[in-house]
Every structure is written in structure tokens, then in C-alpha cells.
Amino acid sequence: MTEPELPDTGFHRLRITRVVAETPDACSLELAVPDDLVEKFHHRPGQFLTLRIPSERTGSVGRCYSLCSAPHEAGPLKVAVKRVRDGYGSNWLCDNAAEGMVLEVLPPAGVFTPKSLDTDLLLLAGGSGITPIMSILKSVLATGTGSITLLYANRDEHSVIFADELAKLAKEHPDRLTVVHWLESVQGLPSVPQLAALTAPWAGRETFICGPGEFMDAASDALSTLGVDRKQVHIERFISLSRNPFEVEDTVDAATDGTPEADSPTRLDVELDGERHSFAWPRNRKLLDFLLEQGLDAPYSCREGACSACACYVTAGEVKMLHNEVLEPVDLDEGIVLACQSVPVTDDVSVSYE
């Protein structure tokens, strides 16, 4: 298939080097990273890429897909894509992605990543939710010292993405990796009591959950019944982007409840890409919009609070988020905010992308 005709928007173009049929309704795409972009596309376990997918109706759409490759692995980046009913992006990729095709891609982003690879983890995945979980799992086994228990739920045995790879890893690391499969065709949909019983032996571990909404809600409720501290639980939620991050749009001032812009802007200190910057931040400007106007290469994707690509840490001061669909209470407690939705509250604010 020929390369899709897409206008040059300044984002990075990566070539597909291999397409692998993982299951009848899922495939993985391997994307080659040029030498001059290796640093730009360095990622943490559990992060995602945003791909630009051609559309006859709108020109293109942006969709987020988690990386299943681990940072330590040499070679191309790898994402897994599973067909979704009425899902334009996933179905287009499964039908059309081919070796040699070039796609426009935003750099890795996301906060669904462990702070340490030396910590014992409980990983709960449903269906294609195994994708970021796989990156975390492989990273811990290869470069950390932690032990892992993975509970992986699927429709049937033919729907298990990475089945052979998981079996191989479990055989290679019998003392550090335990894999428990749940098949709906055999056991039915997992209930809250059943998930609580299964996870109870490892309930004190830091936990990562990714999968269909009903599965994630049940898993979260199960851990709650076991008395697990919510700060120990990380949930990855992806919502289809209504705004195309690959199309240039005018930025809009943040709402100010009808009040005029304050006379004195907030003093803003930013740590980004190993450098520190100081600015006078107008109080009615969203943080991301302002940083981009200053020429900083701040990460972003949807710009509507529906992904975590622009997430950063507030290390001093306070901001207000106008909209948030993805950050969990535990993220907010750690000071994580979405730059695309944040406006200043205090006179001094410090943020870090490190």
C-alpha cells in the first residue's frame, strides 16, 4: 500500500517495518526510529504514542496506542492495535497498515508507569489492555529486581495477545513472574468478588490496571473491598480524541468567569528537557498554550483533557484544571496536572516535566 498523503505538520514520520497478526482481531506495528530521533522517542514503560490516521471524511484523526515494547529493547518501537466495534482508527490500521508505510507520530507520553522497577507489582489486564502492561512487565524482568503477578482476562484462548511471549517469559522467570489467565468463554465475566479472591494474595503490591471500562471498574472495586490504598492503584483510561492534535488550530484563552485578566501575572518556573525557564504567566492562559507560545517543546496530544500526554508535576504553588477525564485521584495527590487544562491560582508556580 502506498504512503498516506498527509500534509507536513512538523510532527515526526516513522516507517512501519513490520506488521504482526497477534490474534484474529489484533495486530502489532513495529515503527523504525531514525538515529536523530532516538532521544526524542525514548520512553518509559507503560507510555503511549499518538498516531495520525488518514480519513476520507476529515483528512485525518489522532488515536493513542500504548507501547508494548520496553525501553531496554533494541530495535523498533512496537504498538498493539485491536479492532473495536465502530472504532475507526483501530479498524483502519488493522485493515491497511503495511510494511513500508509511513505514519506521522507524536513522541511518547503518559504517566501510567512505575516509579521503580525494583518493586513487586500486581498487573491486571483485559484484552488489549495488555499492551502497556507488557512494556512494564518486560522492563521489570529485564532491568529491575521486582516480582510480578499478572492477571490477564480475555474472551477466549484465541483472543490472548502475546500468549506465546508471556508463556516464554514465565518459563524463563519462574520465581519472579506468575501469569493467571481468565477466559470469559470458560469462566464468564469476572465479578468483583472473584477478582478480589484472585488478587488477595498480592493485594499489598503497587497495582496497574488497563482494559475495557467494565473490567477496570470491577478490578478497582475488588481492590477497594480488600482495603488496598487507592494511592497504590494506577488505572490507564483512553478516551477517543474529539480534537485532532495533528491539525493546527488557534489556541483559546482559558475561561476567567467574566473577570478581567489580573494586572500581575503569575511567576512561573518550568523544568523541561533538563533546562529551567522562568516566565511571567498571564492568569487567563492555559499552561500548555503559554509554553508553546514561548517556543518550548512541551509535550501534548489532544489538548482537551482526554489523554495524559501533557501531564506534568506541580512542585510549588497551585493551579486549577478546567477539565480532566484521565487523571485519577492518586495522580492528583502526587501533584500531577494536565498542562492543557491548567491555569494559575497562586502568585508563584513551579512545574516539572522530569
* Among candidate residues 59, 74, 181, 71, the one with its CA nearest the CA of residue 117: 71
At residue 301, the 3 state secondary structure works out as: coil
Residue written as grid cell 483472543: 159
Domain boundaries, the chain: 12-108, 121-236, 266-352
Cα three-residue angle 34-161-40, rounded to 5 degrees = 20
* Among candidate residues 20, 22, 19, the one with its CA nearest the CA of residue 158: 22
Dihedral sign from CA coordinates of 165, 166, 167, 173: positive
Q: Write the CATH number of the domain with boundaries 12-108.
A: 2.40.30.10
* Among candidate residues 147, 173, 150, the one with its CA nearest the CA of residue 162: 150
245 — pLDDT class (breaks 50, 70, 90): low
CB 303 within 8 A of CB 288: yes
| Residue 343 identity | V
**Radius of gyration of the chain, Cα coordinates, nearest whole angstrom:** 21
pLDDT of 77 strictly over 80? yes
Task: Tell me the sheet residues that pair with 189.
Answer: none
100 — pLDDT class (breaks 50, 70, 90): very high
* Among candidate residues 42, 44, 84, 38, the one with its CA nearest the CA of residue 63: 84
pLDDT of 144 strictly over 70? yes
Q: Write the CATH number of the domain with boundaries 121-236.
A: 3.40.50.80
319 — pLDDT class (breaks 50, 70, 90): very high
pLDDT of 122 strictly over 70? yes
Residue written as grid cell 499489598: 204
* Among candidate residues 123, 133, 279, 266, the one with its CA nearest the CA of residue 205: 123
Task: Tell me the sheet residues that pair with 51.
Answer: 63, 105
Instruction: Report the relative pairing of strands 266-272 and 348-352 from DSSP bridges.
Output: parallel
In the chain, what percentage of residues exceed pLDDT 90? 69
Q: Which of 20-29, 45-54, 80-89, 244-253 has the lowest mean pLDDT?
A: 244-253
The class (CATH top level) of 266-352 is alpha beta
CB 305 within 8 A of CB 323: yes
d(Cα 311, Cα 261) in Å, to the nearest integer? 25
Task: Tell me the sheet residues that pair with 20.
Answer: 28
Residue-wise pLDDT for 171-208, tens only, equals 999 999 999 999 999 999 999 999 999 999 999 899 99
